[in-house]
Amino acid sequence: MTPPPVSIVVPIYNEERGLPDGLPALLQLLDGLPAGSELLLVDDGSTDQTAHVLDEVVAANPGRPIRRLSHWRNLGYGRALKTGIRAATNEVIVISDADGTYPTAAIPTLLSCFVDEEAAMVVGARPVGQQPAIRRPAKAVLRWLAEYLTGARIPDLNSGLRVMRRSDCLRFENLLPNGFSFTTTITIALLSSGEKVLYHTIEYRKRIGNSKIRPFADTINFLILIMRTTLAFDPLKVYGPIGLLLLAGGLVLFVLRLILTHPIGMVTTVVLVTAGIQVLLLGLLADLVNRRGLR
C-alpha cells in the first residue's frame, strides 16, 4: 500500500531551550515522508524566545512545507493540537513534542503500523520505568480505571507521540479538552467506539527545561475526563458499579438489622437502597438515550 501524505502537528509552549534539540530531527523526517506531507508548528502563546526561534526555522527553509501557527495567548496543549489538526491538509496526523523527548526516528515505524494494520490510532508507548517516578502511582490508577471503563489494555494512556486520523479528531472535537487530557480523551473515545488502537514501545528521553504538567491538578482533570468520556459512550460502566455499591450497602444494613438485637440504621438503609435503585435506573436511561443517539 502506498504510504499517504502526513501532517505532523507539534504543539509548542516556551520551548526555546528544547527546540534546537527537537526540531532538526523533525525537519529531517519531513524530507523522507511522502509528497504532500507537511510540518505544522503551533506556538501556544509562548512568552520566551520560542516565536523568534520558529520564525528563524521557517525563514531558513523557504519552499519547504513548514507552517507556523500561533495563539495570541497560552490556550493549552489540547487547543494547540486542535488548531494544528484543523489547519492540516492531510487525513493522517502525527503529533509529537518539540523538546526532543519523543524519538522522531520511531515515527516511520508507527506510520507503517498505522497503514498496514488499518488502525484508527497507533501510540508510541513509553516504558513505565522511563516515565517520571513521581507520576507513576497516579498514572497507574488512571490507566487501571481507563482499562476497566473501555475493556481494553492501555500501556500508555497519555503519550504525546501518536498517529491518528484527522476525521476522528474532528468527529470527537466536542469531547476533546484544551489541556493535557486531549490524548487521554481521544484514546478512550476511540476505544469506546470499538476502533483499533495499537501500541508500539518507544524510548523516552529526559526533557530539556521544565515540564508544563501540574501533577495534582492535571491528575484530577484526567480522572474527570475519563469518567466524562466514558459516560458519553457507555454510561452503565459508571452508573452500574455506583448503584450496585449503594444497593449492596443498604441490603447489608438491612440484614444486620434483622440479625442484631437492637435496631440500627433504618433511615440509612432506606436511603442507600433508594439511592442505589435511582442510580441504576439513571444509568439504564442514560444508556438507552446513548444507544438511540448512536443509531
Identify which has the larger pLDDT, 45 or 292. Answer: 45
How far apart CA 32 and CA 49 sit, in angstroms, is 29
Identify which has the larger pLDDT, 249 or 92. Answer: 92
Identify which has the larger pLDDT, 164 or 286. Answer: 164
pLDDT at 293: 53
Q: Same domain for 275 and 135?
A: no
pLDDT at 258: 76
Q: How far is CA 39 from CA 82, 207, 216, in A?
A: 15, 21, 33
Residue with cell 526516528: 105
Q: Same domain for 48 and 27?
A: yes
Q: How many domains does the chain have?
A: 2
- Grid cell in block for residue 124: 508510541
Q: Same domain for 223 and 285?
A: no
Q: Same domain for 90 and 222?
A: yes
Q: Same domain for 170 and 260?
A: no
- Grid cell in block for residue 129: 520505568
pLDDT at 117: 93
**Is there a domain that residue 40 lies in?**
yes
Q: Same domain for 143 and 289?
A: no
6-15, 203-212, 276-285 — most confident range: 6-15
Of 233, 252, 278, which one is at a domain's C-terminal end? 233
How far apart CA 151 and CA 167 sit, in angstroms, is 24
Q: How confident is the model at residue 270 (pLDDT cuts 50, 70, 90)?
A: confident
User: Residues 6 or more apart from 5 whose CB is under 8 A from it?
Assistant: 33, 34, 35, 36, 37, 38, 90, 92
Q: Same domain for 209 and 265?
A: no
pLDDT of 58 over the 70 cut: yes
Q: Same domain for 215 and 283?
A: no
Q: Same domain for 142 and 273?
A: no
Mean per-residue pLDDT of the chain: 85
Residue with cell 498505522: 114
pLDDT at 182: 92
Of 233, 261, 285, which one is at a domain's C-terminal end? 233
How far apart CA 169 and CA 172 sit, in angstroms, is 5
List the beta strands (DSSP E) in the chain.
Answer: 6-12, 38-43, 66-70, 92-95, 121-125, 162-165, 197-201
pLDDT of 294 over the 60 cut: no
pLDDT at 295: 45
The identity of residue 85, as a single letter, is I
pLDDT at 11: 96
How far apart CA 151 and CA 51 sit, in angstroms, is 42
Residue 230: alpha-carbon gap to chain centroid: 13
Q: Whole-model pTM?
A: 0.79
- Grid cell in block for residue 193: 467506539
pLDDT at 207: 56
Reported as type and span, the H/E element at residue 252 is helix 236-259
pLDDT of 269 over the 90 cut: no
**Is there a domain that residue 178 lies in?**
yes
Please state the length of the chain.
295
Q: Same domain for 99 and 196?
A: yes
Quote the domain boundaries for residue 213. 6-233
Alpha-helical (H) ranges within 17-75 are: 19-31, 50-59
pLDDT of 69 over the 50 cut: yes
Identify which has the larger pLDDT, 67 or 228. Answer: 67
pLDDT of 250 over the 60 cut: yes
**Is there a domain that residue 1 lies in?**
no
pLDDT per position as a tens digit, 126-138: 887 655 565 667 7
pLDDT per position as a tens digit, 140-195: 878 888 888 888 999 998 899 999 999 999 999 988 989 888 998 899 899 988 99
Q: Same domain for 210 and 273?
A: no
Residue with cell 436511603: 271
- Grid cell in block for residue 254: 438491612
pLDDT per position as a tens digit, 192-238: 889 999 999 998 876 555 555 555 566 677 677 677 777 777 787 88
Average pLDDT, integer, range 268-277 = 86
